[in-house]
A and B are shown apart, each in its own frame.
Chain A
Amino acid sequence: MSVVVRTVARIILPLVLIFGAYVIMHGHLTPGGGFQGGAVAASVVALLVITFGSQRWKRIKGSLSFLEDLGAVAFVALGFLGIGYTFFRNVLAGTGGLFGAPVPFGPNPGWLNTGGTLPLMNWAVGLKVIAGLGAVVLMLGLFGGGDDW
């Protein structure tokens, strides 16, 4: 692609990643969550493949599929975290630790440091979707044949 496209891609790439991370991070407060934010962030891979060609990113395929497995394992492991009570029990909510602040009663703007295991699960799903969708886009680019720029 032309130098204009490459320059613009370099500028918006961190912005897209930050927006994806924002949607994942606020999954328990606002519309969105792990899947939606992951899909936004995975569009970075599409950007890279279109701008710089897919051959250049061939070697990250292995690490993408490893990250995807890791996200899925983390999700199930977070489910097992509550097995002292029941599977998927939100044991971190209201304990004061990470994401464990008690939620004040009544209308509020939404406190980020609440939700217990929910934000962690959003991050696990987000990781899986970033890596999985990224690998799919990359494979489409690699199988696409000779239309690389």
Chain B
Amino acid sequence: MNIGIHLPILAIAVPLLGAFALPIFAKVHKRLRDMWAAAVGAFTCAMVIALAIQVLSTGVVVYTLGAASPTQAVTQGGFPIRIVLTVDGMSAFMGLISALVGLASLIYAFQFLKEDQGKTLAMTLFFLLWAGMLGMEYTGDMFNFFVFLEVTSIAACALIGYRTWESRPAEAAFKTMALYTLGGLLVLLAVAILYGQYGALNIAYLSSRIRGSQLDKIALGLLLGGLLMKAGAVPAHMWAPDAYGEAPAQAAMVLVANTQASLYGLWRVLFTLFGGALAAPAVGWLVVSLGTLTLLVAVLMAILQRDLGRLIAYGAVSQIGYMLLGVGVGLVALASRPDFGLVAMQGGIFHMLNDAATVGLLMLAAGVVRRATGTKDLTALGGLGHDLKWTGGFFFLGALALAGVPPFNGFASKLLIYESSFRLSPLLTAIGVLGSILLLAVFARAFQGVFLGPRLRAAQSPPVGMLVAMGLLAAVILAMGLAPGFFVEHLVTPAARALWEGRDLYLAAVLGG
């Protein structure tokens, strides 16, 4: 077996197998379960990284399930009938984000989760969620995308609500499930409309057929609505603060990566599926206006929060706004393809990686606070910096990076968004800068309230594994902040170009010349 040609499916199937086999190993011995989880996690990350290297060096990778050879996507007659995984620069980039977040979450989970509080269950659901995210990012088939979307929905809702011995997680999980189901149904209806018109589900084939009929426009609207609902953009953001606030810390950061997988689905739909027919500036302006609305509303709501978890959650929602703003500016400019459009896309896409790392770090730090004190209420916390020195430092780093203070990574991506959106309308830049300033105020208050001041109570410092997980994310944040050029050139630009001008390559890779 030549492992190199099976990378896309191994990255999905191995965590799936890991999830299903985990409870069996847990019945044998807890230690065996931990070793299995570590092995599956390490193997999945290795597959994702190897796949990213392969894609960045040789171009789009196509994998056909069930065919005689992985590249045989098209059957006789030029029609792709099988499920096809298509990994281009953007998919590979998203896979790296999921792998980073998943790895940090797994390292953190080993010592954060308690054995008598559903540790096996939480780890099983985590692997299921991870497999679903990677599946959404690698698939080249609309129905398969919907299936993986539902896999993530179910795993995510269960991860939010599995702690049935507390009252609030169940409510948060129910709210999330209602919106996820609605979003999933909208996506399914759109897929059905496309299938009814063109008799195919393959993204590349559909993209080569779509001409922008009235039904196509309805399908685009449904996909936009469903995926934005799952991404947690205003006005469908109300599930996010509940979910992030109530889910255990290691799960909340994976939920953030999951919203980005939905955003990736949106980019794929807008730039690849409808890229040939409906590159209308009106859709771009819709995305831009939803983005600015999201970042403003979420930041203003963050100011009011008294719960550390919900405060970080609104911070995370506001970052979705920046991504929508950046990529939306690129979408508005797609017809004439000026340089600032690509810069905006680079900013928006780079911000996805930054957001995954910084929000993840903040959530893990909040998890340490909750574990040490039993509360996340900002009015009851204070002076934890005396005992939780490393955690306080990590939180400070994450807060500065999230607010976009130089020299951290959030500044690099936000600068790209500001300087390009300025070319479209200075008002957008002004709103973006305002959002950043307010965000800095919010997180300065949160840091001051939780970690500074006189010591109110003694807090137990977290075990090494949790510090290692936070240290991993902090190292990534520092590396991206100190050398943004390297990351933009080698990871972000191929991803942005794959959307910006890579549609023909994507289609040719699946359908052939």
CB neighbours of B23 from chain A (8 A): 65-66, 69
Contact with A along B283-302 (1 / 0, CB 8 A): 00000000000000000000
B20 at the interface (CB under 8 A from A): yes
Are B66 and A76 in contact, CB atoms less than 8 angstroms apart?
no
Are B66 and A80 in contact, CB atoms less than 8 angstroms apart?
no
Are B69 and A86 in contact, CB atoms less than 8 angstroms apart?
yes
Are A89 and B66 in contact, CB atoms less than 8 angstroms apart?
yes
Instruction: Identify the closest chain A residue to B20 (Cβ).
Output: A72
Cα of A70 to Cα of B20 in the assembled complex, Å: 8
6 A-B pairs closest in CB distance: A72-B20, A87-B9, A88-B66, A76-B17, A88-B65, A73-B20
Instruction: Identify the closest chain B residue to A72 (Cβ).
Output: B20
Q: Which residues of B contact A (CB under 8 A)?
A: 1, 6, 9, 13, 16-17, 20-21, 23-24, 27, 63-70, 83
Are A69 and B63 in contact, CB atoms less than 8 angstroms apart?
no
Choose from B6, B68, B69 the contact partner of A83 (Cβ within 8 Å): B6
Are B65 and A87 in contact, CB atoms less than 8 angstroms apart?
yes
Choose from B16, B21, B27, B67 the contact partner of A89 (Cβ within 8 Å): B67
B17 to chain A, nearest CB (A): 4
Given contacts A65-B23, A69-B21, A70-B24, contact A84 B16 (CB under 8 A): no
CB neighbours of A82 from chain B (8 A): 66
Q: Which residues of A contact B (CB under 8 A)?
A: 65-66, 69-70, 72-73, 76-77, 79-80, 82-90
Cα of A66 to Cα of B24 in the assembled complex, Å: 7
Given contacts A79-B13, A80-B13, contact A86 B20 (CB under 8 A): no
Given contacts A83-B6, A86-B9, A86-B69, contact A73 B63 (CB under 8 A): no
CB neighbours of B1 from chain A (8 A): 83-84
Are B63 and A76 in contact, CB atoms less than 8 angstroms apart?
no
CB neighbours of A89 from chain B (8 A): 66-68
CB neighbours of B67 from chain A (8 A): 85-86, 89
Cα of A83 to Cα of B23 in the assembled complex, Å: 25
CB neighbours of B20 from chain A (8 A): 69, 72-73, 76
Are A87 and B17 in contact, CB atoms less than 8 angstroms apart?
no
Are B21 and A85 in contact, CB atoms less than 8 angstroms apart?
no
CB neighbours of A69 from chain B (8 A): 20-21, 23-24
Cα of A83 to Cα of B27 in the assembled complex, Å: 29
- Write 28 A-B pairs (CB below 8 A) sorted by A numbering: A65-B23, A66-B23, A66-B24, A69-B20, A69-B21, A70-B24, A73-B17, A73-B20, A73-B21, A73-B24, A76-B13, A76-B16, A76-B20, A80-B13, A85-B67, A85-B68, A86-B6, A86-B9, A86-B63, A86-B69, A87-B13, A87-B63, A87-B66, A88-B83, A89-B66, A89-B67, A89-B68, A90-B66
Cα of A90 to Cα of B68 in the assembled complex, Å: 9
A135 to chain B, nearest CB (A): 12
CB neighbours of A65 from chain B (8 A): 23
CB neighbours of B6 from chain A (8 A): 83, 86-87
CB neighbours of A87 from chain B (8 A): 6, 9, 13, 63, 65-66
Are B69 and A85 in contact, CB atoms less than 8 angstroms apart?
yes
CB neighbours of A77 from chain B (8 A): 17
CB neighbours of B16 from chain A (8 A): 76
Are A86 and B70 in contact, CB atoms less than 8 angstroms apart?
yes
Cα of A70 to Cα of B13 in the assembled complex, Å: 16
Given contacts A69-B23, A90-B66, list 9 more A-B pairs with CB under 8 A.
A66-B27, A76-B16, A79-B13, A80-B13, A80-B17, A85-B67, A86-B65, A87-B6, A89-B67
